[in-house]
Homo-oligomer: A and B are copies of this chain.
Amino acid sequence: MNSSILTIGHLARQTGTKVETIRFYEKNGLLPEPSRTEGNYRAYEPDHLNRLSFIRRARDLGFSLDQIRALLALSDNRGQSCAAVDAIASEHRAEVEKKITDLMALKAELDRMIDQCGCGVVADCRIIETLSPLPSRT
């Protein structure tokens, strides 16, 4: 009837999402259940497309599905204070910062370990030695 009704495949192509992922979002309460066609196909409306785009964008920014659920709920209450939104985003940013710090420390350790490797035999390998609890058993 309506030319703006979309199948799940259309929605997938338009948002760069796999069909299975869309069904997964529905099952997990991120995307509302659409109505169905006679043949039991999901029939999506433009709102679904908007919502899915929102989800994908937030996922690309690394938000968890829980956080996205919260962001979606907030964005549906447009008169509320935006502080809660800011809190979620800032919390996420802090997590990202922590991950970066941790990974940089990790990389420094890996650098140290790898740079010591003279690439002889395993028995003399500094990498294995670094990992081993005792000086290499002879």
Contact = CB atoms under 8 A, between A and B. Distances in A.
Interface string A55-97: 0011001100000000100110111111101100110110011
Query: For the side of the interface on A, what is the size category?
Result: 35 or more
A82 B114 contact: no
Interface stretch (A3-11, A18-26, A33-41, A125-133): A125-133
B97 A100 contact: no
A125 B54 CA distance: 14
A58 B120 contact: no
A2 to B, nearest CB: 19
A86 B114 contact: yes
What are the 7 A-B residue pairs with the smallest beta carbon separation, nearest first? Answer: A53-B133, A82-B125, A78-B123, A93-B110, A75-B128, A100-B103, A78-B122
